[in-house]
Structure formats: structure tokens, C-alpha cells
């Protein structure tokens, strides 16, 4: 159905696609995944010629797409983007009808298609067809975005992180719907994501890319069983809901953005910093970068003087964890203390990060239900 | 009342002439500006040079332009209309250009992805999304043009400026007001009409976005 | 004699913009602070701008007589719009987090305005002053019609006597003045923005 042959693309000196070759069968749901900058979006966009490769050829049904008029090509390929991109000046019905109208479908036919598609995602034509995109929620908008791509029943649909901007609940509903639509309509779908859960849930075949090359192309089961590289394993561990929680350490949950000062800093500077950053305590370091304790705004007030250095105030001995400590132990400590956070230390007693109570809650949610961002 | 008996008819004449200058020059200026704005938005690299050059041109006072055209074309309405049209261009051009450039790239990408040709993208997506900005430009142009049309009287071509020039020359309070008030009212009424037009043609889906 | 006319023009513009700032800045602040006055102030300055410049000058002349005072008053009224408008918008657009922080630190409304909000809005206010300056340089050509002199007198004389050289001289002087101040103030504003973002 779609075939890449030795496709290369460079921006300046950076290689985006490096001699890419692969084949996608008709009706397959293929997910492109990999770290940022791996070339997955570039790959996707070269299928509908939004991007033109420097070298190599791409075939759709055996035809070299560089020989097809891009406008005509795109009308046969559905396209869904993360920013949704419903045209705000058009109603939902007009948005869905964009491509069919250009393919000169009759008005009644377009209406019929719109109604049918909207029913498939449980949005009633009567209630929504004449609304404008700004009147819909993000999830509803992206449903329409998907329908718009399907309206002219293109054999291929491209999706560029279509659910990336949605909240987790809406995202999973839409994922279910897309699976249903795929089963029903038997389209060839090429789907870009950076969320391994999404890839594992949706894909018939996953293409894992890194630095413009394919690292592994396999079914979800195969990839789970035999990840081809450490990076893939890492991707799966981070997002897999079946991750073994006993493996998790303090390092997995800590925030690395924190504010620390040396003892010789003046109290005035420290209070300024706290005011600017809206924080009520600072981590104090010794001259050799090792952790000395924390000073809270209350301790500074109690100290009563704004002259002198922060080292003049005896630091509070906050609870600490070693970076490789099991996460559960850190949580237990945090749970048991009045301190607002645990200070995570490296083996040499320098500060690695902090685990806050809210950080703990979101981190747990992350591991349980995937990336909350 | 005798004042109005003396001037009533001339006032109506003057308002008509003034309005004629305004409408025709704004119309011409608007059409030219719209086309230029669209062209410039297709070549942003050059537009970055052309727009500042045009704004330099804009610093030439209207009086000079009318004066110079008068020397070449003589005392005909075209002199006034051409000069005013040139001044009406800039606000619309600037707002058309920025309005088009401000259309979010995702809409253009979505349009392309839907297989719209560049012309279709322009007509059905970009221009509708830029209308609020374009109409703001039209409003500015219109208000300025009402004001600049006073200059028609400088070269003896009538309009409300006639009363103002005579009033200033003869220190006649009432005559100046007779020119100034209708001119200000004309500017206000026209800008209200344009606000109405905005309500009519700005796509409905854009309004709640503001 | 030509130089003195340019200086005369410059004097008119300078005085007008100066007083326009003196009047316009407080009006903009007032519009920002008081919801009721906001509508009135913004409406009045917009109406002022719809009156043809020449007519405005003529009307003021009736009260204050022909001369520079009339011109300056007229130009002040005419250049209020960009200054008031930009002051108001600039203050409105100050990041709400920063306003909140000021409140949270216990600064009074007045204190916040002086030490936080106006400084942050200043680049925007300065842009308003720039627009006012450039516009005023152009509008000041009408000064001559009400006995205020300036470059308008040269241009008018040129048109009357069909003397192209005079027209071109007057126009070029105007354009150069406008472009010079425009660029100068853009440059100053760039420095202001840079300093405040440090």
C-alpha cells in the first residue's frame, strides 16, 4: 500500500531521515514512535507531500507520489493533526464536508455522510452539525477532526499525535473509538505518537525510530517480548502500565528543579529568591556542594535579622533519601513526616532532587495511567 | 434660522460631495490594498522590505500629495480621489498583511492536508480568518479619509472643507462648525456602519473566540 | 530662514507631544483604574480624532486666536488617542500573575501602579508616544492655516505659486523629520524592552 524506498531528508546538516525503507500493507494500523526529533513526523508528512524528501521514492499503490499532483494526492489521504485545525470560520458540517465538496459530491450526499460519521462517534447531527468549533470541547473537536479526515473515505489516513493535547480520559475514549473505526472501515492508518501505551494499544505494527532510522518494526507483542534496543525497553518501562513498581526508585519520582544556595549567601538575597520563585524554603549547601539542611521562611522570620548570611541560621534537618532507594521507602518517609518534601541525595551527599507530596501523587498517577505531562 | 436658509442647500451639496470623495477613494484604496496585501503575504521575505518603504511613503502629508497632483492633473475630482485613495491604501494593506500572516499555521497545514489548493486555502480559510483585522483597517482608512477630504476645498473642489476654509479665513465660528460637525458625524456614522458590516461578515465561529 | 522654519515645526511638534503625554498618560491610567471613566475617556479621545484636523484647529482659533497656542492645543487633542489608548492597553496587558504577586506582597494599588505596572507597561506607552509624534509631524502642516507657521507654510506657498522646489523641500524636510523620530524612538524602545527583560 505505502512503500518507502531509501528515503533521505536533511535540514541543513542535520539528517532527519536516513535511508528509510519500509512497507505498509493495506488495512494495517501502523504506529510511528520514537524520541523527539527521530523523524517520525517527517516520515508521516512525506506521505502526503507536506514534506518532500531529498532522495528516495515513496509509492502508494505502486505509484510514485512525486509524480502525483499534491492537491489530488491529499484528497485521497485523510489527515489529522495534534492542533486539530478545524477551521473556526466554518460549521462542523462544513468542516467535515471540505474534501467531499471538492470532490464534487452532491449536497445531499455530503449531508448523509456527515450524519453517518457523526453517529459513529455518538455526536448527534441535529445537536452539533451547525455549531462552530469554538463551541465544542477539545475532545469533541478532535472527533470532528478525525471525521473530517474520513469524510471522503480515503483509503489511507495519517494521524500526527492526534490525541496528544487531550486529557487522559478523553484520550482513552478517543483511542477506543479510533480502534472501532479502524475495524469497521478497514483503512490503512499511519499514526505518530510518543506515547508507548498508545502505540501498544492501537497498533497492528509499531515502527520504532531513532535518529532518522528504523530501530525495530514489529507487532506490539513482539516488541514487548523482544525489544531491539535499550531505548525501546526504556520507552516501554516508562509508559507501560505493567511496570514492576518494586523496581522504581526515588530517582523516578524526584523533581530536579529545586532551589539551593550556599551558606555564604546573604539572607536578603535568599528572601528575594524565595519571593520571586514563590517558595517557602531553600535547600542549603556546604561549600563542597554537600547537603546541609533547609531553611524555611518561618525560620528566617524567627531569626529576625535580614543582614548576615544564610549560614547564620541553623538549618532544619529535613528527611532525606538516597537516590537509589526504593521509591516506596521514600514515600513512607514522606507520609510519616511533617516536612513538605524529601530531599534526594546522590551517593556523595550532593543534592539530586526533591520529592514533594504533589509530585508523588502525580508521579503515581503517571505510572498507573500513563504520561500525565 | 436665516443661517440655515443661507447655507442649508450648500450644506447638503457639500455633504454629498464629501461623501462621494470618501466612498470612492476608500473603495478604490480598499480594493488595491486587499490585492497588494494578499500578494505581499505570499512573499513575506520581500514584504519585510516593502512594508517599511510604504510606511515611509505614508509620512508624506496628504496636503502635499493633493497639491502636487493638482499641479499635474488640475482642478478635477480625480485629483482628490487619487490622492485620498493612496492614503486609504495603507491601513487596509497593513491590516490585510498582518491578518493573513497571523493565521495559525495549523489551519494552513490542515487545509493542505485536506487537499485544498493554494487559492482555495486563501479564499476559504485564510481570508475569512483575517477579516476582523481587515475590517479594522477599513475603519481606520475611512475615518482618516473623511478627515483628509477636507483638503478638496483647498483646491476649490468643494466638500465640507469649503465651510472650514472660508470660516477660518473670515474668522466665522458658525461656518467652521458647519463644516466640522457634519464631517465628524460622517466619520462616526461610517465607522458605525463598518462595525455593523463587521458583525455581518466576520465568520460566526470567530466571534466567540475574541 | 529655512532652518528656522524647520525648527519652528519641530517646536510645535515637541510642545504638542510633551503636553499630550502630560494629559494623556494620566487619562490612560484613569481609564485603567476606573471602569466608568474608561468608556467615557476612550470614547472622547476617539471622537476627537474623527474631527478633521483643520476644523479642530479652526474651532480652537476662535477661542484662542490665531497663533502657536491654538496649534499646540489642537495637536495635543489630536495626538491624545494613541497615548491614552496605549497607556490603557499597556496597563491592561501586564501579566496578571505579576499584578497578583504585587497584591500578595501587600503593595497598595497606587504603589503597584507606580513601581510595577507603569514600568512594565512603559514600552507600550512609549510606542503610543512614538505614533503620536510621527502623526503630529504630519498634522502640523495645518498649523500655517491658523497662523502657527511651520513647514506647512512652505508647502502651501509652493502649491499656491506652483513652485515644485518649495513643495519638495518642505515635504522632504517633513519626511526626514518623521522617519528620524520614528527610528530614534524605535531604537530607544528596543533598549527599554531589553533593559526591562533583564
User: Using one digit for the tens of pLDDT, what is the confidence trace for A145-197?
Assistant: 999 999 999 999 999 999 988 888 888 889 999 999 999 989 999 999 988 98
| Spatial CB neighbours of B103, under 8 Å, sequence gap ≥ 6 | B125, B126, B129, B130
> Residue written as cell 475603519?
B139
Mean pLDDT of chain A: 86
Identify the structural domains of chain C with CATH numbers, from first to last: 2-197 (1.10.3720.10)
Which chains have 3 or more CB–CB distances shorter than 8 Å to chain B?
A: A, C
CATH class entry, domain A2-245 = alpha beta
Q: What is the dihedral of CA B195, B200, B202, B206, to 10 degrees?
A: 100
For chain C, report the end-to-end CA distance as a whole number of angstroms.
47
Cross-chain residue pair C56–B180, CB shorter than 8 Å:
yes
| Spatial CB neighbours of B175, under 8 Å, sequence gap ≥ 6 | B7, B163, B164, B166, B167
**∠A297-A300-A306 over CA atoms, to 5°?**
125
Residues of B in contact with A75 (CB under 8 A): 114-115
Q: A89 to chain B, minimum CA–CA distance in Å?
A: 5
Residue A49 in this model has a pLDDT that exceeds 60: yes
User: Using one digit for the tens of pLDDT, what is the confidence trace for A246-279?
Assistant: 667 777 778 777 888 888 888 888 887 887 777 7
**Would you place residue C197 in the very low, low, confident or very high pLDDT band (cuts 50, 70, 90)?**
low
One fold for A2-245 and A250-369: no
**Contact at 8 Å (CB) between A325 and A336?**
no
Residue C41 in this model has a pLDDT that exceeds 90: yes
Residue A282 in this model has a pLDDT that exceeds 90: no
Q: Is C54 on the interface with B (CB under 8 A)?
A: yes
Domain boundaries of chain A, sorted by first residue = 2-245, 250-369
Residues of B in contact with A89 (CB under 8 A): 125, 128-129, 203-206
Q: Is B203 on the interface with A (CB under 8 A)?
A: yes
**Contact at 8 Å (CB) between B22 and B186?**
yes
**Contact at 8 Å (CB) between A149 and A185?**
no
* Residue among A18, A54, A50 nearest A190 (CA): A50
Cross-chain residue pair A134–B124, CB shorter than 8 Å:
no
Predicted ipTM of the assembly: 0.78
**∠C120-C123-C124 over CA atoms, to 5°?**
95
- Other CB atoms within 10 Å distance of the CB of residue C99: 16
Least confident of A170-179, A236-245, A330-339, B72-81: A236-245
Q: Which residue spans within A194-272 are E strands per DSSP? A: 205-210, 213-218, 260-262
Provide the sign of the torsion angle of the four alpha carbons A125, A126, A129, A135, taken in this order: negative
Q: CATH homologous superfamily of domain B2-94+132-204?
A: MetI-like (1.10.3720.10)
Query: In Å, how far are A71, A292, A300, A311, C14 from A296, measured between CA atoms?
Result: 63, 13, 7, 13, 54
Grid coordinates given for A31? 504506529
Q: Is C59 on the interface with B (CB under 8 A)?
A: yes
Q: C178 to chain B, minimum CA–CA distance in Å?
A: 7
> Residue written as cell 513526616?
A337
Please tell me the distance from the alpha carbon of residue A208 to that of residue A210, in angstroms, as a whole number: 7
Q: Is B209 on the interface with A (CB under 8 A)?
A: yes
Which chains have 3 or more CB–CB distances shorter than 8 Å to chain C?
A: B
For chain A, report the end-to-end CA distance as a whole number of angstroms.
35
Fold observed for domain A250-369: CBS-domain (3.10.580)
Which chains have 3 or more CB–CB distances shorter than 8 Å to chain A?
A: B
Q: Residue A351: beta bridge partners?
A: A345
Please tell me the distance from the alpha carbon of residue A271 to that of residue A296, in angstroms, as a whole number: 10
Q: B51 to chain A, minimum CA–CA distance in Å?
A: 28
Grid coordinates given for B92? 487596509
Give the DSSP letter string of A134-193. Answer: GGS-HHHHHHHHHHHHHTT--SEEEEESTTTTS-HHHHHHHHHHHHHHHHHH--EEEEEE
> Residue written as cell 534537618?
A317
| Chain B contacts in chain A segment 287-346 (CB below 8 A) | none
**What proportion of chain A, given as a percentage, has pLDDT over 70?**
94
Pick among C43, C44, C50 to test the B interface (most B CBs inside 10 A): C50
Residue A298 in this model has a pLDDT that exceeds 50: yes
Exposure letters A230-265 (e unless 16+ CB within 10 A, then b): ebbeebbbbbbeeeeeeebbbbbbbeeebebbebeb
Cross-chain residue pair B168–C158, CB shorter than 8 Å:
no
Mean pLDDT over residues C108-129, rounded?
Answer: 87
- Chains A & B: contacts with CB separation below 8 Å: 83
Q: Is B115 on the interface with A (CB under 8 A)?
A: yes
Rg of chain C, C-alpha, whole Å: 19
pLDDT at A169 (0 to 100): 83
Residue B145 in this model has a pLDDT that exceeds 60: yes
Cross-chain residue pair B188–C164, CB shorter than 8 Å:
no
Please tell me the distance from the alpha carbon of residue B63 to that of residue C142, in angstroms, as a whole number: 9
Pick among B102, B113, B121, B207 to test the A interface (most A CBs inside 10 A): B113
Amino acid at each position: 500500500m505505502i512503500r518507502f524506498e531509501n528515503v533521505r531528508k536533511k535540514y541543513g546538516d542535520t539528517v532527519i531521515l536516513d535511508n528509510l525503507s519500509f512497507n505498509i500493507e493495506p488495512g494495517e494500523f501502523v504506529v510511528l514512535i520514537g524520541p523527539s526529533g527521530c523523524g517520525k513526523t517527517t516520515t508521516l508528512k512525506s506521505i502526503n507531500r507536506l514534506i518532500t524528501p531529498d532522495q528516495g521514492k515513496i509509492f502508494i499503490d505502486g505509484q510514485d507520489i512525486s509524480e502525483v499532483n499534491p492537491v489530488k494526492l491529499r484528497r485521497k489521504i485523510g489527515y489529522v493533526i495534534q492542533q486539530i485545525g478545524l477551521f473556526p470560520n466554518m460549521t462542523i458540517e462544513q468542516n467535515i464536508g471540505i474534501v467531499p465538496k471538492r470532490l464534487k459530491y452532491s449536497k445531499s450526499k455530503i449531508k448523509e455522510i456527515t450524519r453517518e460519521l457523526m453517529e459513529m462517534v455518538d455526536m448527534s447531527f441535529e445537536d452539533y452539525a451547525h455549531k462552530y468549533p469554538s463551541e465544542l470541547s477539545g475532545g469533541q473537536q478532535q472527533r470532528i477532526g478525525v471525521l473530517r479526515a474520513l469524510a471522503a473515505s480515503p483509503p489511507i489516513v495519517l494521524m500526527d499525535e492526534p490525541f496528544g493535547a487531550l486529557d487522559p480520559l478523553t484520550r482513552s475514549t478517543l483511542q477506543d473509538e479510533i480502534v472501532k473505526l479502524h475495524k469497521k472501515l478497514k483503512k490503512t492508518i499511519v499514526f505518530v505518537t510518543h506515547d508507548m501505551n498508545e502505540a501498544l494499544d492501537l497498533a497492528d505494527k509499531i515502527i520504532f525510530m531513532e535518529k532518522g532510522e528504523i530501530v525495530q518494526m514489529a507487532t506490539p507483542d513482539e516488541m514487548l517480548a523482544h525489544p531491539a534496543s535499550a531505548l525501546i525497553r526504556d520507552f516501554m518501562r516508562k509508559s507501560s502500565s505493567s511496570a514492576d513498581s518494586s523496581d522504581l526508585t526515588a530517582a523516578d519520582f524526584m523533581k530536579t528543579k529545586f532551589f539551593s544556595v550556599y551558606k555564604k549567601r546573604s539572607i536578603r538575597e535568599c528572601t528575594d529568591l524565595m519571593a520571586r520563585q514563590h517558595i517557602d524554603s531553600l535547600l542549603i549547601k556546604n561549600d563542597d556542594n554537600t547537603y546541609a539542611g533547609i531553611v524555611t521562611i518561618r525560620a528566617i522570620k524567627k531569626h529576625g535579622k535580614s543582614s548576615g548570611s544564610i549560614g547564620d541560621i541553623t538549618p532544619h534537618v529535613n528527611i532525606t533519601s538516597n537516590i537509589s532507594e526504593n521509591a516506596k521507602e521514600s514515600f513512607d518517609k514522606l507520609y510519616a513526616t511533617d516536612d513538605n518534601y524529601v530531599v534526594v541525595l546522590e551517593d556523595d551527599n550532593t543534592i539530586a532532587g526533591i520529592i514533594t507530596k504533589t509530585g508523588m501523587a502525580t508521579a503515581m498517577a503517571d505510572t498507573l495511567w500513563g504520561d500525565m505531562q | 434660522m436665516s443661517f440655515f436658509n443661507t447655507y442649508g442647500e450648500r450644506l447638503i451639496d457639500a455633504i454629498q460631495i464629501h461623501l462621494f470623495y470618501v466612498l470612492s477613494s476608500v473603495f478604490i484604496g480598499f480594493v488595491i490594498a486587499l490585492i497588494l496585501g494578499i500578494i505581499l503575504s505570499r512573499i513575506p521575505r520581500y514584504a519585510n522590505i516593502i512594508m517599511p518603504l510604504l510606511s515611509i511613503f505614508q509620512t508624506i502629508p496628504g496636503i502635499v500629495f493633493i497639491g502636487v497632483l493638482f499641479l499635474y492633473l488640475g482642478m478635477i475630482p480625480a485629483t482628490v480621489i487619487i490622492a485620498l485613495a493612496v492614503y486609504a491604501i495603507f491601513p487596509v494593506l497593513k491590516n490585510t498583511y498582518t491578518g493573513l500572516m497571523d493565521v495559525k499555521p495549523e489551519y494552513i497545514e490542515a487545509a493542505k492536508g485536506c487537499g485544498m489548493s493554494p487559492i482555495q486555502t486563501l479564499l476559504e480559510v485564510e481570508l475569512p480568518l483575517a477579516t476582523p483585522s481587515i475590517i479594522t483597517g477599513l475603519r481606520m482608512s475611512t475615518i482618516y479619509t473623511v478627515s483628509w477630504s477636507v483638503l478638496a476645498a483647498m483646491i476649490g473642489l468643494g466638500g465640507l472643507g469649503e465651510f472650514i476654509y472660508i470660516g477660518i479665513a473670515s474668522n466665522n465660528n458658525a461656518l467652521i462648525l458647519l463644516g466640522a460637525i457634519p464631517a465628524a458625524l460622517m466619520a462616526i456614522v461610517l465607522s458605525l456602519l463598518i462595525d455593523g458590516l463587521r458583525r455581518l461578515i466576520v465568520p460566526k465561529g470567530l466571534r466567540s473566540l475574541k | 530662514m529655512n532652518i528656522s522654519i524647520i525648527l519652528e515645526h519641530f517646536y510645535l511638534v515637541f510642545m504638542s507631544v510633551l503636553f499630550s503625554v502630560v494629559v494623556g498618560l494620566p487619562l490612560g491610567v484613569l481609564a485603567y483604574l476606573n471602569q466608568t471613566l474608561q468608556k467615557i475617556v476612550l470614547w472622547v479621545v476617539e471622537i476627537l480624532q474623527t474631527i478633521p484636523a483643520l476644523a479642530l484647529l479652526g474651532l480652537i482659533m476662535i477661542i484662542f486666536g490665531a497663533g502657536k497656542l491654538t496649534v499646540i492645543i489642537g495637536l495635543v487633542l489630536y495626538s491624545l488617542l494613541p497615548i491614552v489608548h496605549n497607556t490603557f492597553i499597556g496597563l491592561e496587558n501586564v501579566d496578571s500573575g505579576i499584578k497578583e504577586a504585587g497584591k500578595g506582597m501587600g503593595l497598595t494599588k497606587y504603589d503597584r501602579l507606580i513601581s510595577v505596572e507603569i514600568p512594565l507597561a512603559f514600552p507600550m506607552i512609549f510606542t503610543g508616544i512614538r505614533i503620536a509624534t510621527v502623526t503630529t509631524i504630519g498634522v502640523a502642516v495645518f498649523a500655517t492655516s491658523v497662523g502657527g507657521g511651520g513647514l506647512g507654510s512652505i508647502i502651501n506657498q509652493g502649491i499656491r505659486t506652483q513652485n515644485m522646489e518649495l513643495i519638495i523641500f518642505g515635504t522632504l524636510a517633513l519626511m526626514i523629520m518623521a522617519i528620524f523620530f520614528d527610528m530614534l524612538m524605535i531604537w530607544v524602545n528596543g533598549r527599554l524592552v531589553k533593559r526591562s527583560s533583564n
